[in-house]
Amino acid sequence: MTLAVFFGCAFIAFGPAFALFVFTIAKNPLRVLILIAGAFFWLLSLLFSSLVWFISVKASNAENGTLQRGLLIFGVFFSVLIQEVFRFGYYRLLRKANDGLATISDDDSSAISVRQMAYVAGLGFGIMSGAFSMINILSVSLGPGTVGIFGDSQYYFITTALMTLALTLLHTFWGVVFFEGCEKSRWWVIGVVVSLHLLVAGLSLLNPLYEASLPPVYVITLLMGIWAFFSSGGSLQNLTALCTRRKAEEESS
């Protein structure tokens, strides 16, 4: 049973991200490079947040539960803000390196646009965020032990996997929308992305009350996916043309 939980949760949490990587990124060296760099920038944000957290805990010498809870909330929200600062820094770096990336491309087909960079960078943030959220939990799921034997939730692993999946996709969508806001100097868009990131982080603090945290997070994920679709140049006409073409191919075959 432990192996089933391990592989089931791993496929839920990382299956869509792995599929996106294989079908849209793996064949393009520039995209792979941008993905790895994006993951590295997220790691840098985590390192900086960890240093601030360590200093805060040592300085406060928290012993009572209320103060520890307050420090946890501060750490979560501060980490979110640092992640968004590093996302902006990564955007600035990619924008300055755009001409250089185009120069080292072998041909026009391997060149990458700002929208593509936004998608790849966001996926890099999401994969690394998901890995740090889930990897220790996956190792624990291998046992020994039985989930819920002491009255805890039996759905801990599956809900954590679902939350990790949502965060991975959200980082991808946030990357697309965030980069568009920077490109067009729409600072309110950046403000919305940061606010939604803070909201999702706050909802995660409601756990183990999963029915109060997961549904809102997935509603936000759906709305951000739609926003990112239109921000990346998608339209209803494109969807209609795609469905019509697939229907014609099915009929011809």
Q: Which of 146-155, 196-205, 234-243 shows the lowest mean pLDDT across its residues?
A: 146-155
pLDDT at position 193: 95
Give the per-residue SS3 of the chain.
Answer: CHHHHHHHHHHHHHHHHHHHHHHHCCCCHHHHHHHHHHHHHHHHHHHHHHHHHHHHHHHHCCCCHHHHHHHHHHHHHHHHHHHHHHHHHHHHHHHHHHHHHHHHCCCHHHCCCHHHHHHHHHHHHHHHHHHHHHHHHHHHHCCCCCCCCCCCCCCHHHHHHHHHHHHHHHHHHHHHHHHHHHHCCCHHHHHHHHHHHHHHHHHHCCCCCHHHHHHHHHHHHHHHHHHHHHHCCCCHHHHHHHHHHHHHHHHHC
- Calculate the average pLDDT of the chain: 84
Cα–Cα distance between 42 and 49 in angstroms, integer? 11
Q: What percent of the chain is modeled with pLDDT above 90?
A: 47
CA distance 37 to 34: 5
The separation between the first and the last C-alpha atoms of the chain, rounded to the nearest angstrom, is 43
Please, which pLDDT band fits residue 103 given cuts at 50, 70 and 90?
A: low
- Does residue 247 have a pLDDT over 90? no
Task: Classify each residue of 197-206 as buried b or exposed e, where b means 16 or more C-beta atoms within 10 Å of its C-beta.
Answer: beebbebbee
* Alpha carbon distance 201, 39 (integer Å): 19
Give φ, ψ of 144 to 5 degrees.
-80, 160
Residue 42 to residue 122: CA distance in whole angstroms? 10
**Residue 189 phi, psi dihedral angles, 5° rounding:** -65, -45
Mean pLDDT of the 45-58 span = 87
Higher pLDDT, 238 or 18: 18
Residue with tokens 């805990």: 57
Q: Contact at 8 Å (CB) between 16 and 98?
A: no
Overall average pLDDT of the 21-50 stretch: 92
Tens digit of each residue's pLDDT (9 = 90 or more) over 12-30: 999 999 999 999 999 888 8
Give the confidence band of 54 by pLDDT, cuts at 50, 70, 90: confident
Q: What predicted TM-score, i.e. pTM, was given to this entire model?
A: 0.87
pLDDT for 155: 79
Q: What is the mean pLDDT of residues 198-215?
A: 86
Flag the least confident range among 121-135, 142-156, 230-244: 142-156
Between helix 2-24 and helix 114-141 the angle, nearest 10°, is 170
Q: Region of 147 please: left (phi>0), alpha (psi -120 to 50) or beta.
A: beta
Residue 246, pLDDT above cutoff 80? no
Task: Output the pLDDT for position 197.
Answer: 95
Position 149 confidence tier, pLDDT thresholds 50, 70, 90: low
Q: Report the alpha-carbon distance of residue 23 to residue 2 in Å, rounded.
A: 30
> Does the pLDDT value for residue 99 go beyond 80?
no
Domain boundaries, the chain: 2-252
